[in-house]
Amino acid sequence: MLRRVWKPVAATVVLGVPSYYVYRSYSRNPSFELSIRARGPDGKPEMSTRRIEILPLKTLEDRINQNTSVSSHTSPEGIRWNHTTAFLASNDPIEDANATQIVHRDDSDPSAPGDYLFFTVMDGHSGTHTSQLLSKVLIKAVALELHSLSNPSSKIDSSSGVLSSAKNLLWSPKRSTPSSFPSTPSHQGPVDADPARVSYAIAEAFARLDHELTSAPLRILANNLDEESKKNRIVPDLSQHPLALTSMLPAISGSCAIMAMFDTAHRDLYVACTGDSRAVAGVWEPTEDGKGQWRVEVLSEDQTGRNPNEAQRMRSEHPPEESGDVIRNGRVLGGLEPTRAFGDSRYKWPRPIQETLNEAFMKGNGRPIRPPPSLFKTPPYVTARPVVTHRKFTFPSPNSPPTPSSEGSQKPTRFLVLATDGLWDELSNTEVVSLVAGHLQGLKGNVPKSNLPSLVHTTIGEASGIDGKSASTQEHKERAAKAGNWAFKDENMSAHLIRNAFGGGDEIQLRKKLSIPAPYSRQSRDDVTVTVVWWEEGNKADVNVENVKAKL
């Protein structure tokens, strides 16, 4: 994930972006030269050139489709849910992760029958530790919070004891106070049908999980302090403790996460976003000319310092004298790009806590953590609490009039795309919706980019979202959209989007971009993970695929 400003790590660390490509064609070994910035023998940045061999198209197509999955599931309401996932690495190993879970409501649930369908993608940075952990526990954390919402007596209080002490160490009372829980249901009916309460529960699950994650090293330290160490303020060497790295690495690494949760019993869609991964929906609408169009609905906003809403929030949470430093060059304290993330404790732990934990766990392992940024004064600067959006969804046939929802003019949603920012660095929201819609419409082969709008009609919805990327990325998108070809070749919907993100029907561009090995590939592309979900009227007798049964 292209997150942080450069820092010296090794003599071959890649910096910046490539200044040019020079393509050279040889009869046997086609290659091109890539200009990079690296540290020279004297430790100073310098330009160098690497010759990159262009791999065969078949090799790269196999790579695009190597890590793909496809599944379908028919819910009790007779709706067929289809979903695909694919990922392509730039880092070695990939720092992205993903998870999917289908949870059936228990028969005793007043809202049964119905399912909860969870889809998540995680965009890690500074390592794989946080994103991989989230792929195992984030959905479970949300499911537990939803269970507690409907069964308050079963709620587990994790704020006592050591965790309470850790909370007091990490956050001041002013900042540790969560947003207020809705005191009165926003509408009549089951609690889990109230969007305000469900949205709050999802946000709480994200925040609680991050609190557990960042508090784990403090809990281990507290449990291993004897009276003499406390009295003399001696920090024990716990570097060989079996949980030393297991607890520290997910806390000091970081990850964005975006989750889509479908509640089929109430036909609610919730999207929770922490960071700058993005969710976009394609909504089918008939038109007077009978052709119909796809409405592009953006369900999340990129949470970076380039988002004015996030920049203002960040400044409001810190003293006025820090207003010019909290966000610098679109980044938190000039370093971290996302303003919300799991882990990233060097932006959350107070400086004394960082020094103590570094001494206890990391120095003895030869892996000292970086000190906090020079502008670091009043942590925390980063939060994992997500922004949660809610939509209703319905299931008309594509040619029928839109069915009004309980929320007025909202139109029925037909498909959803969740992806890490590696996709959105390359494709716009409209391009992604057009490519998925074209795939669903049965387009095949190469399609000139200039022709796709006439084949797949789109319009922008009211929620256009905020693109938290740099202007240079937008300029790149605008240039790329004027020429070239899209490719409709991959059966897997997610792999289809990944191919088109990096060249589509333009074979040379695709081969060049995907032939660059790590770590040099990070100059031109990021890790990318894509999940596409689409649904249609099915048959209740259809067989479920890849179901996971559990109780909420």
Mean pLDDT by 10 residues, the chain (552 residues): 37 36 52 84 83 95 97 86 97 97 85 90 97 97 90 54 35 35 54 93 98 97 88 92 97 98 94 98 88 92 95 96 95 97 98 96 96 95 98 63 40 85 96 96 96 93 69 54 88 98 96 95 95 79 34 34
Residue 232's pLDDT is: 85
Category of 484 on φ-ψ map: left (φ > 0), alpha (ψ -120 to 50) or beta: left
Q: Which residues contact 32 (CB under 8 A, 6 or more apart)?
A: 21, 22, 23, 24, 51, 52, 54, 512
Rounded to the nearest 10°, the torsion over CA 421, 423, 429, 433 is -140
Residue 402's pLDDT is: 41
**In the structure encoding, which two tokens stand for residue 148, read together?**
């507690």
Residue 479's pLDDT is: 54
Measured distance CA(337)–CA(306) in Å, rounded:
9
Residue 519's pLDDT is: 92
* Token pair 């937008």: residue: 474
* Token pair 């004298």: residue: 321
Query: For the chain, what's the residue count?
Result: 552
Residue 537's pLDDT is: 72
Residue 480's pLDDT is: 55
Query: Are 4 and 126 contacting, i.e. CB atoms less than 8 angstroms apart?
Result: yes
Separation in Å, CA 487 to CA 445, 502, 503, 515? 6, 11, 9, 18
What domains appear along the chain, each with residue ranges and CATH number? 57-170+193-537 (3.60.40.10)
Q: Which residues contact 414 (CB under 8 A, 6 or more apart)?
A: 281, 282, 283, 284, 294, 398, 534, 535
Separation in Å, CA 264 to CA 103, 104, 268, 282? 11, 10, 7, 18
Q: Which residues contact 196 (CB under 8 A, 6 or more apart)?
A: 182, 185, 186
E strands, 450-539, where?
Answer: 458-460, 485-488, 528-537
- What's this model's pTM, rounded to 2 decimal places? 0.85
At 226 the three-state DSSP class reads coil
| Rg (alpha carbons) of the chain, rounded to whole number | 24
Separation in Å, CA 126 to CA 21, 95, 228, 370, 521? 28, 8, 36, 11, 16
| CB atoms inside a 10 Å sphere around CB 11 | 10
The continuous run of DSSP H or E covering 33 comes out as: strand 31-39
The DSSP output letter for 321 is G
